[in-house]
Amino acid sequence: MNYVQQPFLYGNSYGYVPPYQQPIIPTPPYQQPVVPLPPFPQQPLPDQQLPIQFEQSYIENILRLNRGKVATVYMNFEGSQWGSKIFKGIVLAAGRDHLILKDLQSEVRYVLLTVFLNYFTFDEEIEYEYPIRKKKASTSNK
């Protein structure tokens, strides 16, 4: 074990350094934690569609189930010149962090980040029951 000698004045004996030794404890090298990456979704063949895997109720899933419907989206851009803003349009797509609306009066498409989303409304009945659950329910009723 390595020791380092520390200078120390003892009593009135100036210049005397007693043999005090302090152990040096080596620190282990830093190891970055290993975080497993989620599996990448497989790309469907041209005539195939990916199975819809909705088991939890997330905003993006609710929006995906209601593609093609008119939604009013309320967003808040805190600390900006826009403040709160309302968008109304047809839901074209939704991802984990965004949604795409097509404006009703023009051909403008809005890509809106869900981090700014407060809530949204539909003027008609919404689709909320997931297709997997429907399929499971219909097969279990037989």
CB 84 within 8 A of CB 75: yes
pLDDT above 50 (res 54): no
Q: Which residue has the higher pLDDT, 78 or 138?
A: 78
- The highest-level CATH class for domain 59-140 is mainly beta
The radius of gyration computed from the CA coordinates of the chain, to the nearest angstrom, equals: 31
Check residue 129 and give its pLDDT: 75
- Tell me the per-residue pLDDT of 68-77, one tens digit each, with 9 for 90 and over: 999 999 999 9
Residues β-bridged to residue 102? 90, 109
For the chain, the DSSP string reads --EEEPP--BTTBTT-----EEEPPPPPPP-PPP-PPPPPPPPPPTT--PPP---S--HHHHHHHTTTSEEEEEEEETTSSSEEEEEEEEEEEE-SSEEEEEESSSS-EEEEEGGGEEEEEESS----S-HHHHHHHHHHT-
Regarding pTM above 0.85, the answer is no
- Tell me the per-residue pLDDT of 71-100, one tens digit each, with 9 for 90 and over: 999 999 999 898 999 999 999 999 999 999
CB 86 within 8 A of CB 103: no
Q: Which two tokens stand for residue 81?
A: 């010149």
115: alpha, beta or left? (left if phi > 0; alpha if psi -120 to 50): alpha
